Structure 1
Amino acid sequence: MTDRHHLLVHGGTFAAVGDGGDISGVRGGGSSPDGLFVRDARHLSRWQLTVDGAVPETLSPVADGDTARCVLVPRGGRQEPPAHTLFREQAVGDGSFVESLRVTSNRPVPTTVRLAVTADADFTDQFELRSDYRTYTKTGATRSREVLDDGVEFTYQRREWRSCTTVTADPAPDGVEETGTGARRLVWTLDLEPHGSAELTLRVMARPHGDKRARRVPSSPAALNRQLLRLEGEFVEGVAFPTGWPELAAACARGLADLASLQVPATGPDGEDLRVPAAGAPWFLTLLGRDALLTSLFALPYRPQLAAATLPALAATQATETGAASVAQPGKIVHEVRHGELAHFGQVPYGRYYGSVDATPLFLVLLGAYVEQTGDASLARRLETHARAAIGWMLDHGGLTSRGYLVWTGRGDAAPSRRAGRTPRRYCGLDKVYNAFQLGYQGPKFSWSTMPDQYALEAYQKQVHGKKRTKPLMSEIILTSSHQPWAPIPKMVDWNDLGDGSVFKAIQKAGNKPSDIIANSTRSKQEYGKSISYSVTSLTQWLERYGTDDTVLVFLGDHQPIARVSGENASRDVPISIVAKDPKVLSAITSWNWTDGLKPAHNAPVWKMSAFRDRFLTAYGSTPHPSKG
């Protein structure tokens, strides 16, 4: 047995199943989520087979391939001759999942077997299943289940958003039982002749929101496999592979066959249906500008139709206006397109996200290479307006005219973050920005946080604050240990023992797991409080250890915790504290009527961040000198 999942992929649909073909829907243990996913949503979150009330043992586990096949025996059947053997085969199609199940008796007498498949669909958005355990408010969302003559249908609705998953079986189940968890159990009682067999076929059709195509579930996994092999064969046909090196030829053939499967639906400028290369399975079965462009460019000598589809699809999603959250600017080529519920309602910015600097010039590179390779200038003429808009972005917003090279002009941070290159250095006038790779940290991550706050502050002391200087120093330090999921939480260590951070390995290993905290509101509140205590303790100890008579500390939270901790109707207010040893610093803001200490009084003033900024600069800013000449 292994802990990993096996992937079945067909276009924009994929399934991740275990060794025995089951989908548990349970997270944890370092494994990625399993399920059936279509258009960024999980349409099957549970798919578990039981035989006579018990989970069968895996005799021959699922192997990698276009279909999942495994052999199972009843519990205990690996130690003694099993009463029967189960042969399970699964495959995915376009928005569909098909399983055939054959039970063969190993007894010379008639046998009765009770089979059950427990199914559920939670319709969770992929972004809710990320490793950082983020949660999103879904006010008014409802789930329903309807028993059918031959199965069950699961439906999810939130305002105008509606998705459903239909499970049918042939033969129809003898009954559909409630489980008490929202899942439904399809049951069959099979009477087997001596050494006889019985077969079931289960079909799952996912209908994501907005998908109005008329589709049919293929009759069997074998039919789906034939369909996929035909598709791969047509895609590879006519390509001249390298001779004299069989291994390279096989790798090229496998790569093209994979490309045949990794094409997802897209729409062109005139509403035409297209199929474009996806970025990859499992979590990026969608249009990503850079990935589709580079894939089409590399495949251009062999399969120019990829470029002929990718270019119009990206033209159709090209930005026409400015958007802060999506980093959109007129003429910019999209970086990522998502179709899920969270993108639809604007809870993540990736419906159309433009956070890359290279997709736009790559669009022009591929367009030119396509014309040169094929001699077909009609596509370039059709996309001329889009090409000119892309050039305009490069010259204007892209910085080519003002700097002579392209720059990334999106939002970012100056935290100990691994997202190098996305910082407000130029915008805020920072002289130096340090990312996580520059702080010498060799310890473990603590969930979302790349390093404990205590280490980040010590690194700041060694690299910046503790060095001699001839002018005042102002620094922005983003502390991340209080970010959810608050598991595991670092513990304070002796400052002299911090070293390269390896001292935190044992602390991280002994800490809570995110899966133990994230779904429990009471524990989330408790652990959130502990994380705040850790962050403030790190800060105050640093101040006691390294602060001087001139040190002024301004610290604040950037937002309140998620609703599971702060409540559904919590405000967006966060406390701001100014700490200084010099009494003149605090006397400059006496008129603000702030509360002494770190905890604001109930009647403390509440300002917007922009108002605090203006008051702070007024109280402490210097008077600009008039420019000479």
Structure 2
Amino acid sequence: MPDRQINILQGRTFMVSDERGDVAPNYDLPGGLFFRDMRHLSRWELRLNGRPLAALSGQPVEYDEAVFYLQQPTGTVYLNPSLSVLRRRHVGEGVQEQLTVTNHGARPAVLELSLLFEADFADIFEVKDKQGKTGRHYRRIEKGAVVLGYERGEFRRETRIKAPGARFTEQSMSYALELAATETWSTEIEISVATAAIRPVPHLDHRPQMPVSLEDWLAQAPELDTDWDDLVHTYRRSLIDLAALRFYPDTVPDASLPAAGLPWFMALFGRDSLIVGYQTLPYAPELCRTTLRALAAQQASTMDDIRDAEPGKILHELRHGELTYFGQRPQSPYYGSADSTPLFLIVLDEYHRWTGDSATVRDLEPHARAAIQWMREFGDADGDLFIEYATRNPEQGLVNQCWKDSWNAIVHPDGTLATLPRATCEIQGYAYDARLRAARLARDCWNDPALASTLEAEAAALQERFVDAFWLPDEGFYALALDGQKRPVPTLTSNVGHLLWSGIIPPAHAASVVGHLMGPAMFSGWGVRTLADGLTAYNPMEYHNGTVWPHDNAIVAAGLARYGFRAEAAVIAEAMLTAAALSGFRLPEALIGTARDLTEIPIAYPSACSPQAWAAGTPLMLLRTLLGLEPDGDQLTADPYLPSRCARLMLRGVPGAWGKADAGI
């Protein structure tokens, strides 16, 4: 089987195949048609006279469409094929597939074209962990169609394959064809999906669900004018990927936001979605507004140990698959992140600063106040001003509830795990920034100067206590975390760059922190590593202990610029944007952390999501940093600092409270 994957997607629907367009059973990678966290086709293989075809070309045309040009294998280079198949596929909330067979020979051809299909209805987590099913599969042949179904109690999913003129069995469909010389035959197959807890089950079709076309989406974004040609392609790719990942959340049906990433995270997330909203504010502010409203609608209001929910907490993720439905994974929405709640306040303020949309900020005031109270009460259970986390669902909950949420991410330099509960450094920075930003909103939008003053006093006290507890004077950087005994975890990580972004670091410490971030132990040449090379815990291929994450680097670069280290920020931006150009103009979720001078090319983490929303947003955030874009009331200000390879960089039509403005040099 060809190894190259062809991915097409629209919102929460995506299809992964090989370059023939086939999905083979037992495919190690997550091949198939997926919708709302479940696989609706696990096999989809085309056969000509019972044999697989050979791919001459298989390419996505756009994010939601792919074309495959196939030929009948002859078994020898001395005999040219006479039959070709053009396979065109479009994905919406289902799939439309067009098949065109041409007889290029001088004699008639009698042939059978068939498709083998299967639907295992695997939950995305079952695919990832290779688990089996416990419910009942069923099939039903109808006139010109077949229905593949799965049910477990009231939980039910269906896939309907409609193909007029085809002969169906429960596992295949076929066409008996007689083509004259040079004759062409075409047909269209429609695959619709259904999801419901109870009957009747509505079928959703393949047609596009986005009222804003890709062309309109691109036209509404600022125009990039630069002499850096690779950046032009990367910018466009980022916008297209964000468009592809858009879906309409159930709670805000009139506007879109991006799913976190293909294939594992095609859902609403708290942390990821908020960071993407922040990244895209100068380009597509609707994504930020929708994210804030969708997350507010799902904000926790009660305690629930199974879901790690507490009043005022912003969710971690919202899933729709079988395992969450039956509680085999934390029931959805799941609230196991300690940073999404302060990030909600940060992004709400940033949204207002950019757009001037006071109505949304006033509408979300009760949610913001609940988030503030969560930071004070539930996030800081012991009253020391620090936000700590430890899941109350040890069987299913996340052990780590910061952005580095893999089980072994919060470690001492020798690889020993930090004890629980953990207070990671960057979350304290977020909490500091969130208080200051909420204070501004309280004063300017909510007419509550008393709350503003209280929050500012809390921020000052938090900063003082944070520096005392986390600063490591002998090392010259901040501890990764405090462990369960309030002892510093003295591991050098990229988390300290988030502290620069939040502004919690005193200026006197900034140069030392920056020196560590940009030194050879941390900076790989492609970006800042998640954990320093040379430590026992370091592994360049470990998910959070040595890799290079684009969104992480965008935040670090913004933090460097905030403290005046513009040259260092430009180095990170140039490295990341060069890595994008060498990766098909698309940054993956993460890169391995091996030094650039050893590999000479960026290498994607083996199971990295691609496209991934906050990786797609990274070039956009880096552009903002390079141009020094900042909102100032009804004006957009700019202070460009460009890498040496770029002499001209301009964004035309940046949206905001000022209407549209141009910025650059």
Query: Do the two structures share a fold, i.e. TM-score over 0.5?
Result: yes
Amino acid at match of 1:177: T
Structure 1 residues 185 and 214: alpha-carbon distance in aligned structure 2, compared to 1, 3 A threshold = closer
Cα distance in 2 for residues equivalent to 1:265 and 1:76:
47
- Confirm or deny that 1:82 pairs with 2:111: no
Q: CA deviation at 1:165?
A: 0.5
SS in 1 for 2:383: helix
Larger CA Rg, structure 1 vs 2: 1
Q: Does 1:115 align with 2:113?
A: yes
* RMSD, aligned α-carbons: 3.4
In structure 1, what residue type is equivalent to 2:97?
A: E
Alignment of 1:182-261 (within 5 A): 184-209=171-196, 215-218=204-207, 231-245=213-227, 246-261=229-244
Residue matched to 2:142? 148
Residues 325 and 331 of structure 2 are in contact (CA less than 8 Å); yes or no, is this contact kept in structure 1? no
Q: How does 1:224-623 map to 2 (within 5 A)?
A: 231-245=213-227, 246-268=229-251, 272-349=253-330, 351-399=332-380, 402-410=383-391, 418-420=408-410, 424-426=419-421, 440=536
2: CA distance between counterparts of 1:343 and 1:357? 20
- Please point out which of 154, 166, 170 is paired with 2:160: 166
- Residue identity over aligned pairs, in percent, reads 33
Normalised to the residue count of structure 1, the TM-score between the two structures is 0.61
CA–CA distance in structure 1, aligned partners of residues 152 and 268 of structure 2: 25
Unaligned runs of at least 5 residues, structure 1: 179-183, 219-223, 447-629
Q: Aligned equivalents of 2:27 and 2:352: distance in 1?
A: 48
TM-score by length of 2: 0.58
Q: Residue 634 of structure 2 corresponds to which residue in structure 1? A: none
The Cα of 1:86 is off from its aligned counterpart by 1.2
2:32 alignment partner in structure 1: 35
Does the Cα contact within 8 Å between 1:51 and 1:113 map onto a contact in 2? yes
3-state SS of paired residue (1:267): coil
Q: Is the Cα–Cα contact under 8 Å of residues 18 and 62 in structure 1 kept in the other structure?
A: no
After superposition, the Cα gap between the structure-2 partners of 1:234 and 1:210, relative to the gap in structure 1 and judged at 3 Å, is farther
Among 45, 50, 60, the residue aligned to 1:48: 45
2:358 and 2:381 mapped to 1: Cα distance?
A: 27
Unaligned runs of 5+ in 2: 401-405, 412-416, 423-482, 492-530, 543-665
Q: Shift in Å at residue 371 of structure 1?
A: 2.0
Q: Distance in 1 between matches of 2:339 and 2:538?
A: 31
Which residue does the alignment assign to 1:602?
Answer: none
- Secondary structure of the residue aligned to 1:204 is strand
Superposition deviation, residue 379 in structure 1: 1.2
Query: What does residue range 65-104 of structure 1 map to in structure 2 within 5 Å?
Result: 65-66=62-63, 67-76=65-74, 79=77, 80-93=79-92, 95-104=93-102
How many corresponding residue pairs? 423
Letter matched to residue 303 of structure 2: T
Amino acid in structure 2 at the alignment position of 1:23? V
Query: Distance between the aligned counterparts of 1:129 and 1:303, measured in 2?
Result: 33
Q: Is the 8 A contact 2:196 2:202 kept in 1?
A: no
Q: Output the CA distance in 1 between the equivalents of 2:56 and 2:421.
A: 61
Distance 1:118 1:354, change over 3 A: same
**Cα 1:327/1:423, change in 2 over 3 Å:** farther
For 1:77 and 1:61, locate their aligned partners in 2 and report how far apart those are by CA, in whole Å.
20
Question: In 2, distance between residues paired with 1:118 and 1:434?
Answer: 56
**Shift in Å, 1:351:** 1.5
Please tell me the residue identity of whatever aligns with 1:162: R
How many angstroms does 1:14 deviate by? 0.3
Deviation at 1:302, TM superposition (A): 2.2
> Secondary structure of 1:266's match?
coil
Distance in 1 (CA, whole Å) between partners of 2:196 and 2:337 is 28
SS at match of 1:387: helix
Please state whether the residue corresponding to 2:268 is helix, strand or coil: coil
Q: Alpha carbons of 1:238 and 1:276: their partners in 2 closer, same or farther (altered >3 Å)? A: closer
Distance 1:290 1:144 in 2: 38
- Does the aligned pair in 1 maintain the 2:38–2:123 contact within 8 Å? yes
1:424 CA displacement: 4.5
Flag the structure with more relative contact order, 1 or 2, with Cα contacts below 8 A and sequence separation at least 6: 2
Task: Report which stretch shifted further, 56-65 or 383-392.
Answer: 56-65
Give the deviation of 1:396 after TM superposition: 0.9
Structure 1 CA distance for aligned equivalents of residues 84 and 211 of structure 2: 29
Per-residue displacement from partner, 1:315-345 (whole Å, max 9, x unpaired)? Answer: 1111112222322111110011100011111
CA distance in 2 between counterparts of 1:9 and 1:38 reads: 10
Q: CA deviation at 1:238?
A: 3.5
CA distance in 2, matches of 1:21, 1:117: 11
